[in-house]
């Protein structure tokens, strides 16, 4: 799932039961994950939102006399940031992801053993680790490692052995793991997701600190535009206006420290970070109002924009398409 800031979310889940009802339940759970991920929630907050949703939905089903519930579904959700090489994980009663490192070793990520969805309504915990470039992250359901003739511990040991001997590309890894671990006539569904970690090129990242002074906005904006010239990126006047509005808003309404970051990806990403957690919002300025149009202009000029929250504050970001 693409996220802001060139990050990506990886998710694998499993529901109780089989057949059409289970497939419909998984479809609803998948839609909920996509919806919550669009809000740029942290892994622990996303699972908490899912847990609360499952509780409400199942309560409504019981009131309506339905006996099929979502409670008991398991899930692992990971967010990988290629600019830092770090990945945050949170799980709800799900088997831990495997990490195949470039040196050939394999380890399982120590994701906190939270309860399945709908059973806890307690805060979920997150594990944050550094992933070396070239590593393969392997997410799966218990149907891959556990069967009638194999315990889950034995299955995880087998998965470790298989991953040690596989080729480094994702497609070969999937094929080898499935052939080695999924037997014909298996009574449980098995899902497998393999992703290879790539680092974001340092030459495609530029960052500046912004003094808490309105007079500094112009100087920082000029540095940003010079960087775009160095990259050979021409987005016209739109980027300059977007940066002006975002930086000015951060200095005026946010809290220091304020930083600006540009990422040259398949799109141009402009980010402004400040230490305030106050949520910005687009307002409808009256005809003769002198202010209140900043975020409205950003929304009109950018292909996408939004806000994500961090332990240090918030990031307001905007994306623009790059000419081929």
Per-residue tokens: 49? 């939102």
Fold for domain 4-196?
Answer: Phosphatase 2c; domain 1 (3.60.40)
CB contact at 8 A, 242 and 298: yes
Look-up of token digits 């019981």: 62
**Which residue in 6, 92, 103 sits closest to 46, CA to CA?**
92
Exposure letters 142-156 (e unless 16+ CB within 10 A, then b) = bbbbbbeeeeeeebb
Q: What is the DSSP letter of 76?
A: E
Q: What is the DSSP letter of 168?
A: S
> What is the mean pLDDT of the segment spanning 202-221?
92
pLDDT of residue 290: 47
pLDDT of residue 46: 94
**What element of type H or E holds 296?**
helix 294-301
pLDDT above 90: residue 61: no
pLDDT bucket at 17, cuts 50 / 70 / 90: low
Residue 311, classed as helix, strand or coil, is: coil
Burial class (CB in 10 A: 0-12, 13-18, 19+), 314: buried
> What is the mean pLDDT of the segment spanning 235-246?
91
User: In this predicted model, which residue has the larger pLDDT, 188 or 82?
Assistant: 82
Alpha-carbon dihedral angle through residues 145, 26, 196, 306, given to the nearest 10 degrees: -150
pLDDT of residue 216: 87
**Which residue in 120, 132, 118 sits closest to 87, CA to CA?**
132
pLDDT of residue 121: 61
**Which residue in 234, 240, 307 sits closest to 272, CA to CA?**
307
* CB-side neighbour CA atoms (13 Å) of 186: 18
pLDDT of residue 184: 55
Query: Could you tell me how many residues make up the chain?
Result: 324
Instruction: Summarize pLDDT for 253-306 with one digit per residue, the tens.
Output: 889 999 999 999 999 999 999 999 887 766 565 444 445 567 888 989 999 999
Does the domain spanning 202-321 belong to CATH 3.30.565.10? yes
pLDDT above 50: residue 63: yes
> What is the mean pLDDT of the segment spanning 313-320?
95
Instruction: Summarize pLDDT for 91-124 with one digit per residue, the tens.
Output: 998 999 999 999 999 999 999 888 888 886 678 8
User: In this predicted model, which residue has the larger pLDDT, 158 or 324?
Assistant: 158
Instruction: Summarize pLDDT for 265-274 with one digit per residue, the tens.
Output: 999 999 999 9
Which are the contacts of 204, defined by CB distance < 8 A and separation ≥ 6? 231, 263, 264, 265
Domain boundaries, the chain: 4-196, 202-321
Fold agreement (4-196, 202-321):
no
The C-alpha atoms of residue 64 and residue 24 are separated, in whole angstroms, by 18
Instruction: Summarize pLDDT for 170-195 with one digit per residue, the tens.
Output: 999 999 999 998 875 556 678 899 99
């Amino acid at each position: 799932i693409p996220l802001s800031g060139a990050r990506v979310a990886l998710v694998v889940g499993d529901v109780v039961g089989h057949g059409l009802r289970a497939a419909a339940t998984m479809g609803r759970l998948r839609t909920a994950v996509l919806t919550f991920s669009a809000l740029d929630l942290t892994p622990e907050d996303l699972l908490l939102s899912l847990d609360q949703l499952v509780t409400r939905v199942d309560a409504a089903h019981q009131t309506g006399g339905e006996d099929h519930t979502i409670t008991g579904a398991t899930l692992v959700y990971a967010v990988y940031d290629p600019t830092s090489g770090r990945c945050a994980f949170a799980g709800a009663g799900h088997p831990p992801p495997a990490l195949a490192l470039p040196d050939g070793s394999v380890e399982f990520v120590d994701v906190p053993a939270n309860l399945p969805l709908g059973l806890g309504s307690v805060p979920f915990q997150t594990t944050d680790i550094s992933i070396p470039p070239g590593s393969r992250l392997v997410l799966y359901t218990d149907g891959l490692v556990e069967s009638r003739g194999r315990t889950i511990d034995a299955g995880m040991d087998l998965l470790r052995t298989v991953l040690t001997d596989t080729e480094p590309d994702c497609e070969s890894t999937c094929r080898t793991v499935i052939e080695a671990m999924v037997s014909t006539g298996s009574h449980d569904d098995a899902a497998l997701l393999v992703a290879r970690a790539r680092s974001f090129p340092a030459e495609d990242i530029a960052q500046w600190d912004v003094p808490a002074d309105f007079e500094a906005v112009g100087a920082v904006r000029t540095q940003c535009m010079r960087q775009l010239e160095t990259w050979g990126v021409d987005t016209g006047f739109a980027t300059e206006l977007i940066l002006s509005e975002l930086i000015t808003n951060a200095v005026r309404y946010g809290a220091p420290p304020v930083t600006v970051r540009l990422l040259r990806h398949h799109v141009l990403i402009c980010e402004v970070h400040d230490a305030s957690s106050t949520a910005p919002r687009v307002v409808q300025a009256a005809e003769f109002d002198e202010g209140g149009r900043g975020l409205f202009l950003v929304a009109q000029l950018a292909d996408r924009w939004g806000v994500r929250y961090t332990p240090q504050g918030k990031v307001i970001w905007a994306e623009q398409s790059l000419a081929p």
